[in-house]
Amino acid sequence: EDGCADVSGYEDMLTAIDVWHQRKFARLLEKLDAYEEADGNTVLDNSCVLYTNELSDGKDHSWMNLPFILAGSAGGTLKMGQHILLGAGGDYDPEQAPLNKFLITLVNALGVESDWFGTPEGSGGATMQGGVYEVLLA
């Protein structure tokens, strides 16, 4: 059953919640970008801040095609200023864009050497793959 079908204006409410969170995210980034570190970079340049929602479609409680925003290059390790579709077109394909591979890329960019993230290898099937997304690396 559609739990939101009888809630008038639920889409506007969800949008307002997302806008509120994104404004807080922008404020955090502005503050991190305002502080210069000893190496001449800002705190934001030397960091990597991840923004995402817990669901891509709140009404359906779906996480398929969930967008992520990365800010900061982790000290020059990550490429910035790009939009990358890690999946294959419109439909989510865990064999082409497993989330744990994205998380492995992030932890490595932040200095934690690892070739695995998540449940033990083999227990997640195609959705659990090792390695990194080279396209994200500088």
The answer to whether the CB of 104 falls within 8 A of the CB of 116 is yes
Q: Round the average pLDDT of the chain to a whole number and report it.
A: 84
The predicted structure's pLDDT at residue 112: 92
> pTM value?
0.80
- Collect the ranges in the chain with pLDDT lower than 50: 1
pLDDT single digits (tens) 36-60: 999 999 999 999 999 998 877 776 7
Q: With CA atoms as reference, report the closest residue to 70 among 117, 135, 114, 11.
A: 135
The predicted structure's pLDDT at residue 87: 63
Q: With CA atoms as reference, report the closest residue to 106 among 69, 81, 55.
A: 69
